[in-house]
Structure 1
Amino acid sequence: MKYFSRILLSFCLVFIHVQMGFSQKKSSKKPLIVFVCGDHEYSGEETLPLLAKTLESQYGFRTKILTSFPDQNAEKDIPGLEILKEADLAVFFLRWRVLPADQVAHIQAYLNSGKPIMGFRTSTHSFNYPQGDPLESYNGFAERAFGAPPGWGGVAKHSHYGHNASTDARIISEKANHPILTGVDPTFHVRSWLYRVLPDYPKKGTEWLMMGKAVNPERPAVDQPIAWTWENEYHAKVFFTTMGHPEDFSVEGFQRLIVNAIHWELGLKVPEKWLGKLDINIPYRGMVKSKN
């Protein structure tokens, strides 16, 4: 009897070990999405964690949120960027950072990997190194990574049509069958004031998915591309949008666009069934001083 019990115990231990190994293997196959936030103005460190929570609970992804330390105004430190080496997708929402070389090296290593990359709004001007700084070339990060204008203003004359404006978004009819646009409302309205990127950007070779029309612009406005895909010079799949105002994240059409784009970037089938509007309701705070 004791002999039989020992055999049974051994069998159980082996079974548990195999099951644990299987579970760990299954878990490790879940794609890891790393969100890198630091934008002064648009509360990416609040909206993106709510998006990440839904991606984990409803779609089975793993996520990691990295934010500027100690707050959104801190331009010189985003701890934890080494996790990018494990990421299957990196999502950037940055504005005028001046990160140290060792942190930028993690971002460059991710670029070099050719893995997919996504960017929101102010990531067109992710970095703002002074003239002559060894990292000054990273002021043009958005052009290399996303096919977007290389920084604010400058030769590209990248600008917007006024903070009191907003944007009517519409799908480009010829692109309506693109997987990213599955189930996305043909038209919707967002609070983002329209970014000017034409005539030289997005870069040649980008595929425009959506156009934006400025509502109540403060100056004469021309319709602009507001969402596009691309293959960058690192051979990575790219999705970029100039939308990203916190109130945009409460708009169902925008929510589905982003969830679809994440699946597409990872080479996964875009969900045909929408699981319902996401609970993301972050008010716009604008620029605020640090508490410290």
Structure 2
Amino acid sequence: MYQPQIVSCLLALVFAIPCAAGDLEMTLRYQQETSPDSGRYHQLTREEIWKPSETAIIVCDVWDLHHCQNAVLRAQEFAPRLNRLLAHARDQGVTIIHAPSGCMEHYAQHAARARAKLVAPSPTLPDEITKWCYQIPSEEKGVYPIDQSDGGEDDAPEQHAKWAAELEGRGLNPKVPWSKQTDLLTIDSEKDYISDKGDEVWNILAAKGIDNVILTGVHTNMCVLGRPFGLRQLAKNGKNVVLMRDMTDTMYNPGAWPFVGHFTGTDLIISHIEKFVAPTVTSDQIIGGRPFVFEGDTRPHVVIAMAEAEYETNRTLPEFAGAYLGKDFRVSYCYANDTNRDDIPGLDSALESADVLVLSVRRRALSKKQMEALRKYVAAGKPVIGIRTACHAFSLHWKQPPEGTETWEAFDPEVFGGNYHGHYPNKITSRVKAADAAVDHPIMQHVPLDGYTQHGSLYKTSPIADSATLLLTGQIEDKSQEPVAWTFTRADGGKSFFTSLGHKTDFDQPMFQRLLLNSIYWAAEKPVPEEFNSDWPAEPAKKW
């Protein structure tokens, strides 16, 4: 997959010798299973240097119109930035291929269409390159993450009917109203190509010696993945293909499984692609600035870090987040390295954009880079939520950490206002209930107050900081109460929530579920949706 010139540039980076001016410095994000058949994935990145002359951008199906009005509006929103990207890449020598499928008649006399048709057939034309590709072998081990069987329309019914009537009024077929690529994207008659055919696109790539291909456009879960020139075909046939994840959209209806918000549906498809099909990149890597975000995508970014081997939170927390956070939050998961306990791959990069950090970590040192990212996040006054072993997340009992790693022995008192000093025997149950003065706290709203018997060991945490606000207590018969959940305002001004609950049996308890849900909304300073308040415990599938 790597060409000699790419390898030479990577070696040049190692020896501090600059690559050729104008080369594309790309950061490819991909996902790798934590260990075979674990079903958990690290989100990782790697750096590559691409020659512009050996790189192409394919613009997939950014039509002038669509049967879904919301799809049109979203495409119109990102198209100006995409056009700027294409102009910049074109000036650098990147080949631009416009692929508005089904619209070749409109471009019959266009020079860019004629240029595509004149390219000589490649002797290496892959089998079935002219056909749609609905799955490649690597996808067989995954579960496709969304139900798009209804076509993915996310217009409201009244909105959709009005839009269809408007299209009919223009003399268009409301089911297939497009006739060309949007005019918001410029087609350079002297340099660009126009084609919607897999063999023609392959011929262009082969004739120009192009192995690096960026797919952008719509819709990621349909055309971008499946077209004859799409991600699957190019990945299957050996191209170094990537998805530009911030210059795309998904056809997904939040009323369909898994009942998450539209933008979360897009995230799920991107995650599937990174696991099984191809890496992804962002537009800022070529034109600078920050990655594009839709104006309507106001979701706070929740990062969930899991590195403990006793309570199965690497299963329970993703299940919880998948059930309850998919509408209002963007969620990233960071899992422990299965072969190096002092590493949580991807944590440092995830924290760069995190708005809320949820920790379930037990006695780990971190690399200096990861610990620096964590300390920077906390010092910025951003919220931290800890469950169970997070109070001793980065403590090794004051032992010397492995070379190249760091601990944070005072993490519990400094970040949580806590005082963990052991726990009662595992076989002794405790009764968890709300603290008397806590019922009016935002985190306690709609939390069932009758309490429950907890089967995980009761942590010894008393006394917590005087400034902490106690929410839950736990008690073993004939023993003193212990703080079980509280909030704390840190010296840096940030707010934290900690609970010593988090045993796998706690996730079956409505009290704990609602406590954790409320704490995340509280940390993000968002109101809990009324759907949850009207009926708790909620059935996630029915709620969303």
TM-score when normalising by structure 1: 0.79
Is the 1:260–1:271 contact (alpha carbons within 8 Å) kept by the matching residues of 2?
A: no
- Provide the rounded CA distance (Å) in 2 between the counterparts of 1:135 and 1:142: 19
Provide the residue aligned with 2:379 in structure 1: 112
- Provide the rounded CA distance (Å) in 1 between the counterparts of 2:74 and 2:356: 32
Provide the residue aligned with 1:277 in structure 2: 537
1:38 counterpart = 2:307: yes
- Provide the rounded CA distance (Å) in 2 between the counterparts of 1:231 and 1:121: 19
Q: 1:222 to 1:10 in 2, by over 3 A?
A: closer
Is the 2:365–2:407 contact (alpha carbons within 8 Å) kept by the matching residues of 1?
A: no
Task: Render the CA deviation track for 1:173-202: whole Å, top value 9, x for unaligned.
Answer: 222111111111113222222111113xx2
1:97 counterpart = 2:357: no
Q: 1:10 to 1:214 in 2, by over 3 A?
A: closer
For structure 2, the 5+ residue unaligned runs are 1-61, 67-71, 80-248, 250-262, 264-292
- Provide the rounded CA distance (Å) in 2 between the counterparts of 1:272 and 1:97: 39
Q: CA deviation at 1:56?
A: 3.5
Q: CA deviation at 1:131?
A: 3.6
Is the 2:417–2:488 contact (alpha carbons within 8 Å) kept by the matching residues of 1?
A: yes
Provide the residue aligned with 1:60 in structure 2: 328
Provide the residue aligned with 1:261 in structure 2: 519
1:195 counterpart = 2:452: no
- Provide the rounded CA distance (Å) in 2 between the counterparts of 1:208 and 1:182: 14
For residues 1-292 of structure 1, the aligned pairs below 5 Å read: 12=65, 17-20=75-78, 24-26=293-295, 28-57=297-326, 59-70=327-338, 74-81=340-347, 82-129=349-396, 131-133=399-401, 138-149=408-419, 158-189=421-452, 190-199=454-463, 202-214=464-476, 221-274=479-532, 276-277=536-537
For structure 1, the 5+ residue unaligned runs are 1-8, 153-157, 281-292
RMSD: 2.8
Is the 1:128–1:136 contact (alpha carbons within 8 Å) kept by the matching residues of 2?
A: no
Is the 1:168–1:187 contact (alpha carbons within 8 Å) kept by the matching residues of 2?
A: no
Task: Render the CA deviation track for 1:226-264: whole Å, top value 9, x for unaligned.
Answer: 010111112111111011101101101110111011111
- Provide the rounded CA distance (Å) in 2 between the counterparts of 1:269 and 1:34: 19
- SS of the residue corresponding to residue 54 of structure 1 reads helix
Q: 1:10 to 1:241 in 2, by over 3 A?
A: closer
Is the 1:98–1:128 contact (alpha carbons within 8 Å) kept by the matching residues of 2?
A: yes
Is the 1:255–1:278 contact (alpha carbons within 8 Å) kept by the matching residues of 2?
A: no
- Provide the rounded CA distance (Å) in 2 between the counterparts of 1:250 and 1:278: 12
Provide the residue aligned with 2:33 in structure 1: none
Is the 1:198–1:224 contact (alpha carbons within 8 Å) kept by the matching residues of 2?
A: yes
Q: CA deviation at 1:107?
A: 0.9
Q: 1:172 to 1:271 in 2, by over 3 A?
A: farther
- Provide the rounded CA distance (Å) in 2 between the counterparts of 1:114 and 1:16: 33
The one-letter amino acid paired with 1:195 is Y
Is the 1:127–1:139 contact (alpha carbons within 8 Å) kept by the matching residues of 2?
A: yes
Q: CA deviation at 1:17?
A: 3.8
- SS of the residue corresponding to residue 332 of structure 2 reads strand
Q: 1:235 to 1:16 in 2, by over 3 A?
A: closer
The count of residues paired between Structure 1 and Structure 2 equals 256
Q: CA deviation at 1:113?
A: 1.4
Q: 1:166 to 1:132 in 2, by over 3 A?
A: same
